[in-house]
Amino acid sequence: MTGEIGRNDLCPCGSGKKYKRCCIWNSQQEPQRSFSPRFRFESGSYGGAGSFVPSIACLKQMVNKWDYHFILVDPARVYTKEEPAVSEAEKDLQAAFLQKQQPGSDHAVGETLRDKGYISVTDFNIVKE
């Protein structure tokens, strides 16, 4: 037995859906932090060249892929290196999910992040490594 998840098995994210109808398209990436089948949140950094701020990307599930829906940044915390910005974003995202009142309520996650000082960025550019 390989321990792999079959397409018709229940999704390990806990949604109650079959894997093929939920997170199969995300299987090449790290596990989801959100248990919503429609949205996924990822921590990161925004900026460059010695000026990085914590960022959180919200990705929306489309047919066979994930598209960036919006990006949140905390412009009040600027770091000269990328790693501390990513670490802070990760901590903030974990705290936001702890504050989530209703299972599946991604709106509550957004409100918590807004209260922490995150704002939405328009016309963002995603740099892939």
* Per-residue confidence (pLDDT) for residue 75, from 0 to 100: 92
* Per-residue confidence (pLDDT) for residue 128, from 0 to 100: 61
Rounded to an integer, what distance in angstroms lies between the CA atom of residue 122 and that of residue 129? 21
Q: By the 8 A CB rule, do 78 and 52 touch?
A: yes
| Residue 14, number of CB atoms within 10 A of its CB | 11
* Per-residue confidence (pLDDT) for residue 35, from 0 to 100: 46
* Per-residue confidence (pLDDT) for residue 85, from 0 to 100: 93
* Per-residue confidence (pLDDT) for residue 111, from 0 to 100: 81
Q: What is the pTM of this model?
A: 0.63
Rounded to an integer, what distance in angstroms lies between the CA atom of residue 10 and that of residue 43? 26
The letter for the amino acid at 125 is N
Intervals of the chain under pLDDT 50: 1-2, 28-35
